[in-house]
Amino acid sequence: MGERELGKPPLGLPEDLRRLFADGGIGRSLPLRLPPGGVVWPDPGYAPHLTYDRPAFWMSDEPVSAALWAELRARHPESGLWPVLLEETMQPWSAGQIAPDTPDEVSNYNPALFMAEVWDDWIEQCREDQLEELEPFGRHCPGLAEPGVLMADPGYVADWYAGLLAERRLPLGLAAVDRGADALAVMGWQGALHHNEWTAPLAAVVRSWEDRFGARVVGIGFNTLELSVAAPPVTPEHALHVAAEHWAFCPDSIIQGPGTLIGYAEQIMGRNAWSFWWD
């Protein structure tokens, strides 16, 4: 795939990586040796109502090291390619079972409004005894939590978490995005399909977490999402408020986990990684 030696001056992106960009990757460079891999196109049969004029992302054939992930993360400003560690290698990635969207679509969603809509929809359907799960907020959505305070540089924390995930021997994905949150939409991830039909509003929430909590997208799987967090909540009150956001984003992490916001808040307080899964 047009591999280049380390240390050579940048001469632009290899052809297959240029195809990920609407403008052909003009002005982008990546002076690194990448492992064997290739671009992934959406399967026309998976989302027949959608058409695409370019591949969704690039994927390595084999697992990659944490060092390579960190180097690619550091090179993102010049390459425009955000690295993501991928779980479940056969599906959906290699099978093209994806439905890519654009960063512009992500911009159409307001995280606070999305949270309020999810909260209100659930309240309309729930039984009275189920309200205990959302104590102390109950029927009243608390809105977005205040930002956290950085413990360390977000890039450093992301590299640390990538090191832990890379021990699972995961392949690499590269998405042509300005920020990691947008990779969820651009790569066509469908992991939360049973919770929310569209990925773009979830990507909008992750954008907000990037800004408020120093979160970075590190890994995604068939129905999982792994974020590093450089500014987590460190008080019980703040953690409880953040837990309410997590519930609206991924109810299964709470309902099929500790069962209550209070119990979940204890789990995320001071933690530098957030892991989500959807049933």
Instruction: Report, as an integer, the average pLDDT of 133-162.
Output: 95
Q: CB within 8 A of 192, min separation 6: which ones?
A: 199, 202, 223, 225, 250, 278
Distance CA(74)–CA(43), nearest Å, equals: 31
Give start and end residues of each alpha helix (H) in 84-235.
103-106, 111-125, 154-166, 183-186, 200-213
Flag the least confident range among 80-94, 173-187, 218-232, 250-264: 80-94
Residue 137 within any structural domain of the chain: no
Q: Which residues are bridge partners to 226 per DSSP?
A: 219, 275
Beta strands in 4-56 (DSSP E): 37-40
The pLDDT assigned to 1 comes to 38
Q: CB within 8 A of 238, min separation 6: which ones?
A: 145, 146, 148
> How does the average pLDDT of the chain come out, rounded?
90
Tokens found for residue 260: 């209550």
Instruction: Report, as an integer, the average pLDDT of 115-126.
Output: 89
Categorize the per-residue pLDDT at 191 as very low, low, confident or very high, splitting at 50, 70 and 90: confident
pLDDT per position as a tens digit, 256-279: 899 899 999 999 999 999 999 998
Prior bond to 236 cis, omega within 30?
no
The pLDDT assigned to 90 comes to 61
Tokens found for residue 73: 């993360």
Residue 127 within any structural domain of the chain: no
pLDDT: is 93 or 68 the higher one? Answer: 68
Flag the least confident range among 102-106, 172-176, 193-197: 193-197
Tell me which residue of 273, 253, 272, 275 sits closest to 264, measured CA to CA: 253
Tell me which residue of 90, 57, 91, 110 sits closest to 217, measured CA to CA: 57
Categorize the per-residue pLDDT at 5 as very low, low, confident or very high, splitting at 50, 70 and 90: very low
Residue 25 within any structural domain of the chain: yes
pTM, two decimals, is: 0.92
Cβ pair 204, 110 in contact under 8 A: yes
Categorize the per-residue pLDDT at 72 as very low, low, confident or very high, splitting at 50, 70 and 90: very high
Which secondary structure element, helix H or strand E, spans residue 82, and what is its range? strand 81-86
The pLDDT assigned to 84 comes to 98
Instruction: Report, as an integer, the average pLDDT of 140-148.
Output: 96
Return the DSSP state at 36. Answer: S
Residue 126 within any structural domain of the chain: no
Distance CA(24)–CA(40), nearest Å, equals: 16
pLDDT per position as a tens digit, 48-66: 666 788 999 999 999 999 9
Residue 117 within any structural domain of the chain: no
| DSSP count for the chain of H helices, then E strands | 11, 7
Whether pLDDT at 174 is above 60 = yes
Distance CA(170)–CA(34), nearest Å, equals: 15
Distance CA(81)–CA(21), nearest Å, equals: 10
Categorize the per-residue pLDDT at 10 as very low, low, confident or very high, splitting at 50, 70 and 90: very low
Going across the sheet that includes 224-229, the strands are 37-40, 57-63, 171-176, 81-86, 215-220, 224-229, 273-277
Residue 125 within any structural domain of the chain: no
Categorize the per-residue pLDDT at 226 as very low, low, confident or very high, splitting at 50, 70 and 90: very high
Residue 3 within any structural domain of the chain: no
Residue 206, CB half-sphere, CA atoms under 13 Å: how many? 27
Q: Which residues are bridge partners to 57 per DSSP?
A: 40
Tokens found for residue 177: 């995005």
Domain that holds residue 238: 15-105+144-274
Whether pLDDT at 7 is above 60 = no
Q: Classify residue 6 by burial, with Cβ atoms within 10 Å: 0-12, 13-18, 19+.
A: exposed
Question: For tokens 């911009």, what's the residue?
Answer: 107
Whether pLDDT at 8 is above 80 = no
Residue 279 within any structural domain of the chain: no
Count of domains observed in the chain:
1
Whether pLDDT at 247 is above 80 = yes
The pLDDT assigned to 128 comes to 73
